[in-house]
Amino acid sequence: MKIPALRIVLLGGGNLAYHLSKALSGLPGYPLVQIWTRSPKQARALGVRSNCAFTHRLHELDSRANLYILCVSDDSIGSLAGELTGFIPPDAAVIHTSGSKPSTLFKSLYNNYGVLYPLQTFSKQKKINFSGIPLFITASNRSTEALLSHLAHQLSQEVRVIQDSARLKLHLAAVLVNNFTNYIYTLTDDYLQSQGLDLRSFYPLIEETLAKLKTMKPAQAQTGPARRHDKTVIDQHLSLLKKLKQEELQTIYRLFSTMIWKKYPLTGPPGRD
């Protein structure tokens, strides 16, 4: 299948658009032709940073592009897609980047539509290299899939084609491994700071947890008082959290300890932490 030269308009100026625009602007042939954000200041800043045209007005969108990437908050994808119809070519491909919204959000508006979902967490403050990020693509037809696959392979070595339903399952898992663990880091950081202690001392432990995950199943790597059914230590920790009025940590500690305790009946050798 012959793939046309990419001419991309990126809509959005948030965390992902900030990194995606930079990655797109570095591709051969300079496929990123324009950035749109609803704020004029942000449009200019991103356009200058990515060396492409920019606008905050939908009627000024480049109508010669063949791919429009809606990289805006999940709840605004549908309404923005509707507003775009008068300003972009009817045969252009329109995609979003959300893990939880279906590609069929565009079905009644466009023939060529899809999703490019990067399985990663993006914040403007943190630099990121796109080449190792798994990119999951979904497309309404073969030509759109070929176009998205062509683009995704230029950005990353990890590209897979999936259905909407599979992407939602991935997104749920991403929430578990990233958003939830990060919230535990947040609570732990607050607790440590309140006690004059430092999260940085825990970096080697956090890094080793990840390193083990890459060489063994997480279920085998589990250690700690709940894994050993060590009620004395668990009660000690819970009463310390109570004394320190760390209510959220108390709830999480009790819940996780109960679940780990149940998962590991005391048959094998206990894990050590």
Ligand X SMILES: NC(=O)c1ccc[n+]([C@@H]2O[C@H](COP(=O)([O-])OP(=O)(O)OC[C@H]3O[C@@H](n4cnc5c(N)ncnc54)[C@H](OP(=O)(O)O)[C@@H]3O)[C@@H](O)[C@H]2O)c1
Binding site for ligand X (CB under 6 A): 12-17, 37-39, 71-74, 76, 80, 96-99, 118, 121-122
Nearest distance from C-beta of residue 37 to ligand X, angstroms = 5
Q: What is the DSSP string of 188-199?
A: HHHHHHHTT--G
Nearest distance from C-beta of residue 104 to ligand X, angstroms = 15
Beta carbon nearer to ligand X, 100 or 111: 100
| Residue with the shortest CB distance to ligand X | 14
Output phi, psi for 111, to 5 deg: -85, -40
Q: Which helix (H) or strand (E) holds 145?
A: helix 142-155
Nearest distance from C-beta of residue 74 to ligand X, angstroms = 5
Beta carbon nearer to ligand X, 121 or 250: 121
AA letter at 113: Y
Beta carbon nearer to ligand X, 157 or 182: 182
Nearest distance from C-beta of residue 153 to ligand X, angstroms = 19
Nearest distance from C-beta of residue 189 to ligand X, angstroms = 20
Beta carbon nearer to ligand X, 116 or 241: 116
Sequence-distant contacts of 245-254: CB under 8 A, at least 24 apart: 246/187, 246/191, 248/187, 249/187, 249/188, 249/191, 252/184, 252/187
Integer Cα distance of 171 and 207 in angstroms = 23
Q: What is the DSSP string of 24-91?
A: HHTSTT--EEEEE-SSHHHHHHHHHHHTSEEES-GGGS-TT-SEEEE-S-GGGHHHHHHHHTTTS-TT
Output phi, psi for 175, to 5 deg: -65, -40
Beta carbon nearer to ligand X, 39 or 236: 39
Beta carbon nearer to ligand X, 63 or 179: 179
Nearest distance from C-beta of residue 41 to ligand X, angstroms = 10
